[in-house]
């Protein structure tokens, strides 16, 4: 049990990577406060894992403030925070992105990490220990055509994470980011189907083209991300901070053309 009794906040925990990380951390003995905006899904997922939950919109200052109050009152400490909640938007050229779309993506993906810094880090500094992990994306160092707000939000996370590692490192706090590449599942399947129809070719051809952009010719999955989160949160990574670790099969070409 590498995380026995470690008090862990995971945002965006009701589905996808957050849920996968919560499952892995539960197996390793962590006591988790699962956070999500989707109350129905969150209640279900946390019940299945027998973990605590807190319904919150991480893009709102008041939500993060209440979350911090709730967790410190009940648990007195926080050992690990996984800032994982994130959204994307309809793909489109940057000149077509509306201000509302831009603000929404930046608020959920990037402003939320500022709120984490504002409402949780000061208490963590007093504890003189902690590990903070951000779910980023390879779009945060490669760019991502037709997803400019999303890519910008992930670059912002890296800047925040690096700075946090410097400011909070002297207090024994580590900050790192995981950058997943192209992820297996229903979402990428739908993207592939759409692209195949548009280009009048087969899904298999598009899928192979996507995979060909990585050295390992692969997509990644939620277990790959959970395994990296576990490593970064555990004492095995005690000397690792300020890093963006890609879990992506090594992206050679972020925009393979078919
Ligand atoms: N799936 C991918 O292809 C992929 C690739 C790289 C990076 N990522 C990143 O991984 C993270 C998790 O993505 P995922 O694929 O698991 O997505 P997902 O949609 O399956 O899960 C995201 C969760 O965040 C929650 N959420 C959304 N907005 C919220 C808000 N304002 N407040 C609280 N919770 C909110 C959703 O309800 C959902 O449960 C995101 O930061 C995403 O950008 C995903």
Q: Say whether 72 is catalytic.
A: no
Please name every residue paired with 131 in a beta bridge, in sequence order, or none if there are none: 80, 174
User: For 109, what's the count of Cα atoms within 13 Å in the CB-facing half-sphere?
Assistant: 28
258 residues of the chain, pLDDT tens digit each: 999 999 999 999 999 999 999 999 999 999 999 999 999 999 999 999 999 999 999 999 999 999 999 999 999 999 999 999 999 999 999 999 999 999 999 999 999 999 999 999 999 999 999 999 999 999 999 999 999 999 999 999 999 999 999 999 999 999 999 999 999 988 889 888 988 998 899 999 999 998 999 999 999 999 999 999 999 999 999 999 999 999 999 999 988 877
What domain range is 171 assigned to?
A: 7-183+220-247
* Residue 53, both tokens: 């939950």
- Tally the domains of the chain: 1
**204 found inside a domain:** no
pLDDT at residue 137 in the model: 97
Ligand 1 centroid vs 36 CA: distance in angstroms?
10
**Domain for residue 94, yes or no?**
yes
Mutate to test the pocket of ligand 1, among 9, 10, 16 (most ligand atoms within 8 A of CB): 16
191 within some domain: no
Does residue 252 sit within a domain? no
Calpha distance 138→21 (Å, rounded): 19
Residue nearest to atom 10 of ligand 1 (CA): 135
Question: What length is written for the chain?
Answer: 258
| CA-63 nearest atom, ligand 1 | 32
- Residue nearest (by alpha carbon) to ligand 1 atom 38: 12
Q: How far is CA 204 from CA 91, 195, 210, in A?
A: 22, 11, 10
Residue 213 CA to ligand 1 centre (angstroms):
23
Longest dimension (CA), the chain: 59
Answer yes or no: is 32 within a domain: yes
Q: What is the pLDDT of residue 185?
A: 86
Q: Whose CA is nearest to atom 34 of ligand 1?
A: 36
How many CB atoms sit inside 10 A of residue 31's CB? 16
235 belongs to a structural domain? yes
Which residue among 86, 144, 228 is best mutated to probe the pocket of ligand 1, counting the most ligand atoms within 8 A of its Cβ? 86
- Report the distance separating Cα 179 and Cα 246, nearest Å: 4
The model scores a pTM over 0.85: yes
Helices 203-212 & 186-198 angle (0-180, nearest 10): 110
User: Which residue, 127, 235, 110, 123, is CA-closest to 177?
Assistant: 110
Active-site option among 53, 115, 150, 210:
150
Residue whose token pair is 């400019």: 148
Can you give the CATH number for the domain in which 232 is found? 3.40.50.720
Q: How far apart are CA 25 and CA 225, in angstroms?
A: 12
At which residue do the structure tokens 């957050």 appear? 18
Whether 36 is covered by a domain: the verdict is yes
Q: Of 194, 178, 191, which Cα lies nearest the Cα of 231? A: 178
The DSSP output letter for 110 is I
Asked if residue 63 is part of any domain, the answer here is yes
Residue nearest to atom 20 of ligand 1 (CA): 16
Q: Which residue has the least CA distance to atom 25 on ligand 1?
A: 12
CB under 6 Å to ligand 1: residues?
A: 11-12, 14-18, 36-38, 56-59, 84-87, 108, 135, 137, 180, 183, 187
């Amino acid at each position: 049990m590498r995380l026995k009794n470690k008090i862990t906040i995971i945002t965006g925990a009701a589905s996808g990577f957050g849920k996968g990380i919560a499952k892995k951390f539960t197996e390793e003995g962590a006591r988790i406060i699962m956070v999500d905006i989707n109350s129905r899904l969150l209640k279900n997922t946390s019940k299945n894992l027998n973990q605590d939950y807190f319904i919150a919109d991480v893009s709102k200052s008041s939500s993060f403030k209440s979350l911090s109050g709730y967790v410190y009152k009940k648990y007195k400490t926080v050992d690990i925070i996984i800032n994982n909640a994130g959204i994307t938007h309809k793909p489109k050229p940057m000149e077509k992105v509306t201000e509302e779309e831009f603000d929404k993506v930046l608020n959920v993906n990037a402003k939320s990490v500022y709120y984490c810094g504002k409402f949780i880090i000061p208490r963590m500094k007093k504890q003189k220990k902690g590990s903070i992990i951000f779910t980023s994306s390879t779009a945060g160092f490669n760019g991502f055509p037709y997803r400019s707000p999303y890519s910008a939000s992930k670059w912002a996370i890296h800047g925040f994470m690096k700075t946090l590692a410097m400011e909070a490192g002297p207090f024994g706090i580590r900050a790192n980011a995981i950058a997943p590449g192209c992820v297996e599942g229903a979402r990428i399947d739908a993207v592939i189907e759409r692209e195949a129809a548009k280009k009048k070719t087969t899904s298999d051809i598009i899928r192979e083209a996507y995979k060909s952009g990585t050295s390992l010719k692969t997509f990644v999955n939620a277990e790959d991300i959970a395994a990296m989160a576990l490593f970064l949160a555990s004492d095995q990574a005690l000397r690792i901070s300020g890093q963006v670790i890609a879990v992506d099969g090594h992206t050679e070409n972020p925009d393979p053309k078919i």
